[in-house]
Structure 1
Amino acid sequence: MSAEHTVDTIGISTSLFISGEHRRGGAGKLPIVDPGTGKQIGTVELASEADVQDALEAASQAFPAWSQTLPSQRGAILKRAARLLLERADDAASVLTTEAGKTRVEARGEIGRAIETLMWNGEQAGRIEGRIIAGAADGSVRYSIPTPLGVVAAFTAWNFPAVLGSRKLGSALAAGCTVVLKAAESAPATAAIIVQALADSGLPNGVVNLIFGDPPAVAKQLLSSPVVKAATFTGSTAVGRSLAALAAPRLIRCVFELGGHAPVIVCQDANIDTVIATTSPAKFGSAGQSCVAPTRYIVHRSLYEQFAEKLAAYAQSLTLGHGHDTDTTLGAVANQGRVDTLKRLTDDAVARGARLVTGGAQAELDGFFFEPTVLADVPTDADIMTEEPFGPIAALIAYDEFDEAIELANATDYGFAAYLFTDSLRRRNQAIDQLKAGNIGINQMAPSLPDAPLGGIAASGLGYEGGTEGILSFMQLRLVSQSAPRDTGSTRDSASRRQHT
């Protein structure tokens, strides 16, 4: 294991990483709990106010040299980190399984996506280009020049600590920015592995600084600092709004990926088996704790009962258990609070008239497990129809006309992902035009990959992550307008005298 975190028979110990050095936190430690057992597996160091200030100063001092480093050299470090992470993938996946409750298959897949993200940003770092624009007057020309913004405050959630960490670090570093990364305290070692791979790849001291701590206090200090020029966050909409309020006084640029409540519209010409085979791994993968996971199935009435029956059968086929068990196909949710929320949403829906097809309770296992749940005939006033469940619950509702399905799909404040299954070109075009979502999958899922920009609408986010746009999120496009000096009479006379002599 890396120097930044250690794993032994007692557990995982994760430290702060500031200006190239590992250190203990001045605010004590927090226990790390394995969601699959409910037992403590280690500790994470918590940053004091002085630690956070040291991280900010380190990032600020490192920025001038890093921003002037050749983009190809910045990219080379990212690519070396990707290769190192590949070499360490088995250990990283084991840590991720233990601290995040994922199955081994899910953990390996996430580490693979993190590697791909670092590699893509490394390749792209040297391809960020400016533009030459025709001038508005004779002899003039304009240049659009992308320039690194400065220090970035990055905040990552616990549900995908490897992907989220690599996504935020990859784009900001490719842009030439330095970073203070406040990673999730419940899954700290995975973030530490990503940062260690970068450090071991030659990243200069202070370019990336990793801290943990009391989230509100750390966020307030980071976003109050005059050196922070951008903030990037993945997490709940409620926390996103709080961070936006903290960033507002200094007009800090914000790139936020927030909550989602993804609808799946199943039209009358869809193949039920195909829909379930396509969406269920995303619905129940990572125990449903994904902002792009399908949550509301809006099914044409002619297919409705058969669809509910088959989706319930899929849910019942899943095997709950610890992620390290090879038979496990559905892991734990993050903590007991998630279990309590899922139970509340289920009970509320049933009380309002929904039909519990399967699941609906905490599983009788050590740790934090909720049964894969299918709710049918869910009324629109049930909490689960507007509140992101973030767990292994599917809510079903029938529709008759396609306009009704679109209306139901758009009936939340969220606008992140949406899915449609149909062979009708007319319905596809209508959905693309009318669905309130920044990420639409038609007859397939719509994964967020590093080569394409993705951003939420309304309560689901600000700005874009991924693609060239994700790197440009941390750059200022400076416009330079320039004209050649005009000839004066004296210069023309001088030139004429030189010609005659």
Structure 2
Amino acid sequence: MSADTADSTTQVATRLFVGGRWRDGRAGRIPVTDPGNGRTIGTVEQADERDVADALDAAAAAFRAWSTTVPAQRGAILKKAATLLGSRAEEVATTLMLEAGKTRAEARGEIQRAVDTLEWNGEQAARVEGRVIGGAAAGSRRYSVPTPLGVVAAFTAWNFPAVLGARKLGGTLAAGCTVVLKAAESAPGTAAAIVQALVDAGLPDGVVNLVFGDPPAVSAQLLGSPVVKAVTFTGSTAVGKQLATLAASRLIRGVFELGGHAPVLVCEDADVDSVVAVTSPAKFGSAGQSCVAPSRYLVHRSLYDAFASRLTEHASSLRLGHGSDPATTMGALVHQGRVDAMLRLTQDAVGRGARLLCGGRQPERDGFYFEPTVLADVPHDADLMSEEPFGPIAAVVPFDDFDEAVELANAPEYAFAAYVFTDSIARREIAVERLKASNIGINQMAPSLPDAPLGGLDASGYGYEGGAEGVLSFTQLRLVSQSAPTR
């Protein structure tokens, strides 16, 4: 699971983890590619139907003991796993860098976020609690009891494999559930490293099981199993809808973190340099492959030319390259399909009248790169204005009044993140009230941290991850009504 920090050709062989044992998959193995140069860096084992069934059986068998484990003891394992992952941070960050095409700084930052997530959920495990409610009759009382749901099917995406893995496992394990984790085949070593930290921290056999395999087949088997009581998924809206449909047939509870198309509203009293400095790391970090990344800059006409010029200057200054190069400031996209999508969105926008201010090309080099791209005067009917770009493309559009900006911001079907830059208290209040977004940043970004709940709206999903709500998502609040004994 490790990789030499100086050699991106190091082989990374990732296996399944079922019932407390690492093992090969019965469906063979597939290659893992370094997006930064297109080379094969290892393999990942693939589960067949029998492997998935074994994982489900192991999770079901482990549930009773784990769900009745003292919450503080569950938390202690999570906190120890956080410490172990932190001690291995450099090694795991190298694996993440090679698998996901990130810069080394981005990979290190993500591993630290994963450590923080496990640590926080470890603390929260002992704080999962219900409440006492007044009785409806003399001598009676009512109280709610959080009870673990059972086996959880968890699915993580490739763009943030460490954070997403820690978030799924942290919340479910703190709640007392057992898990079958279906992680991304393109970033398997990172997921395996988190599982290994939990195992080394003392996690009992069967509590977490890690599988890889054909996504439709594995998903259908997991969500068709009678032992699975909840599903948590992070990924595209299209796949999320498919999984939600499968879950609905068995009334499986779901938490879905799906796509986004985050607007940035730049009002006439905003500072242009500050907006660019604050938002650009999120826009171009991880090559723009984030559901909360700014994608549409809606700029007051009085600042429009200055802002477009400043954003273009910044985007043009970014240096593309492999994450192992210290000079690299933007890494690769995950595969050629994402590059093709960037080309299509750019060509469509320009064909409809947008101005290409910088970028717009796939550079001639090994790996899957797309130049940081800024498009101005993007017409509202361009695909880029309604389709999540999930890449390093920024659309810049003018507005004349704040009502118009809010209307433009709310136009796509997505409703995850939105950002507003203004000194006006009135506009801030309007933004919070009227913006169709569940995660709003005012004069700053809105980071997803483990101590606060985050969930989507509309095509961006539903349910919560993070905070006490993220743990309670995997419990049933049983209402107990009790009268005093008659004698």
TM-score range, shorter chain: over 0.9
Contact preservation (8 Å) 1:11, 1:41: yes
- Pair 1:50-2:53 in alignment: no
Give the equivalent residue in structure 1 for 2:410: 410
Matched residue type, 1:382: A
In structure 1, the residue corresponding to 2:459 is in which secondary structure?
Answer: helix
Contact preservation (8 Å) 2:258, 2:461: yes
Give the equivalent residue in structure 1 for 2:392: 392
Matched residue type, 1:28: G
The Cα offsets for residues 291-346 of structure 1, whole Å up to 9 and x where unpaired, read as 00000000000000110010000001100000010000000000000000000000
Matched residue type, 1:43: T
The Cα offsets for residues 439-472 of structure 1, whole Å up to 9 and x where unpaired, read as 0000000000000000011000110000000000
Matched residue type, 2:50: A
In structure 1, the residue corresponding to 2:172 is in which secondary structure?
Answer: helix
**Gaps spanning 5+ residues in structure 1: where?**
488-501
Matched residue type, 2:280: S
Q: CA deviation at 1:365?
A: 1.6
Contact preservation (8 Å) 2:8, 2:98: no
Matched residue type, 1:14: T
Q: CA deviation at 1:364?
A: 1.7
Cα distance in 2, alignment partners of residues 389 and 230 from structure 1: 30
Contact preservation (8 Å) 1:2, 1:196: no
Cα distance in 2, alignment partners of residues 270 and 132 from structure 1: 48
TM-score when normalising by structure 2:
0.98
Matched residue type, 2:469: E
The Cα offsets for residues 85-114 of structure 1, whole Å up to 9 and x where unpaired, read as 011000000000001000000000000000
Cα distance in 2, alignment partners of residues 434 and 261 from structure 1: 16
Cα distance in 1, alignment partners of residues 363 and 470 from structure 2: 40
Cα distance in 1, alignment partners of residues 195 and 94 from structure 2: 17
In structure 1, the residue corresponding to 2:405 is in which secondary structure?
Answer: helix
Matched residue type, 2:226: P
Contact preservation (8 Å) 2:279, 2:445: yes
- Pair 1:215-2:215 in alignment: yes
The Cα offsets for residues 263-306 of structure 1, whole Å up to 9 and x where unpaired, read as 00000000000000000000000000000000000000000011
Give the equivalent residue in structure 2 for 1:63: 63
Contact preservation (8 Å) 2:157, 2:184: yes
Cα distance in 2, alignment partners of residues 13 and 2 from structure 1: 9
Give the equivalent residue in structure 1 for 2:237: 237
Give the equivalent residue in structure 2 for 1:199: 199
Cα distance in 2, alignment partners of residues 10 and 387 from structure 1: 37
- Pair 1:344-2:344 in alignment: yes
Cα distance in 2, alignment partners of residues 130 and 229 from structure 1: 20
Cα distance in 1, alignment partners of residues 221 and 148 from structure 2: 22
Contact preservation (8 Å) 2:2, 2:189: no
Cα distance in 2, alignment partners of residues 236 and 60 from structure 1: 28
The Cα offsets for residues 365-416 of structure 1, whole Å up to 9 and x where unpaired, read as 2100000000000000000000000000000100001000000000000000
In structure 2, the residue corresponding to 1:233 is in which secondary structure?
Answer: strand
Cα distance in 2, alignment partners of residues 209 and 369 from structure 1: 34
Give the equivalent residue in structure 1 for 2:81: 81
Q: CA deviation at 1:485?
A: 3.1
Q: Write the mapping of 1:401-480 to structure 2, written as runs, cut at 5 A.
A: 401-480=401-480
In structure 2, the residue corresponding to 1:302 is in which secondary structure?
Answer: helix
Q: CA deviation at 1:486?
A: 3.5
Cα distance in 2, alignment partners of residues 407 and 290 from structure 1: 23
Contact preservation (8 Å) 2:16, 2:22: yes
Cα distance in 1, alignment partners of residues 11 and 315 from structure 2: 33
Contact preservation (8 Å) 1:376, 1:397: yes
Matched residue type, 2:73: Q
Cα distance in 2, alignment partners of residues 448 and 39 from structure 1: 32
Give the equivalent residue in structure 2 for 1:314: 314
Give the equivalent residue in structure 2 for 1:497: none
The Cα offsets for residues 46-88 of structure 1, whole Å up to 9 and x where unpaired, read as 0000000000000000000000000000000000000000110
Cα distance in 2, alignment partners of residues 213 and 114 from structure 1: 24
The Cα offsets for residues 215-241 of structure 1, whole Å up to 9 and x where unpaired, read as 000000000000000000000000000
Cα distance in 2, alignment partners of residues 125 and 2 from structure 1: 30
Matched residue type, 1:286: S
Contact preservation (8 Å) 2:9, 2:41: no
Matched residue type, 2:36: G
Q: Write the mapping of 1:22-421 to structure 2, written as runs, cut at 5 A.
A: 22-421=22-421
In structure 2, the residue corresponding to 1:459 is in which secondary structure?
Answer: coil
Cα distance in 2, alignment partners of residues 294 and 383 from structure 1: 16
Cα distance in 2, alignment partners of residues 422 and 270 from structure 1: 5
Matched residue type, 1:129: E
Contact preservation (8 Å) 1:264, 1:420: yes
Matched residue type, 1:333: L
Runs of 4+ residues over 3 Å off in structure 1: 7-10
In structure 1, the residue corresponding to 2:249 is in which secondary structure?
Answer: helix
| % same residue | 72
Cα distance in 1, alignment partners of residues 285 and 34 from structure 2: 18
Q: CA deviation at 1:347?
A: 0.1
In structure 2, the residue corresponding to 1:186 is in which secondary structure?
Answer: coil
Q: Closer, same or farther in 2 for the Cα pair 1:381/1:9, shift >3 Å?
A: closer
Contact preservation (8 Å) 2:9, 2:40: no
Cα distance in 1, alignment partners of residues 108 and 208 from structure 2: 24
- Find the structure with the greater CA-based Rg: 1
Q: Closer, same or farther in 2 for the Cα pair 1:2/1:362, shift >3 Å?
A: closer
The Cα offsets for residues 124-143 of structure 1, whole Å up to 9 and x where unpaired, read as 10011121111101111001
In structure 2, the residue corresponding to 1:431 is in which secondary structure?
Answer: helix
Matched residue type, 2:379: P
Matched residue type, 2:470: G
**Gaps spanning 5+ residues in structure 2: where?**
none
Cα distance in 2, alignment partners of residues 8 and 20 from structure 1: 30
Cα distance in 1, alignment partners of residues 446 and 35 from structure 2: 28
Cα distance in 1, alignment partners of residues 424 and 342 from structure 2: 35
Cα distance in 2, alignment partners of residues 122 and 375 from structure 1: 44
Cα distance in 1, alignment partners of residues 231 and 97 from structure 2: 28
Contact preservation (8 Å) 1:297, 1:394: yes
Q: CA deviation at 1:10?
A: 4.7
Cα distance in 2, alignment partners of residues 258 and 207 from structure 1: 26
Cα distance in 1, alignment partners of residues 462 and 10 from structure 2: 41
Cα distance in 1, alignment partners of residues 2 and 391 from structure 2: 32
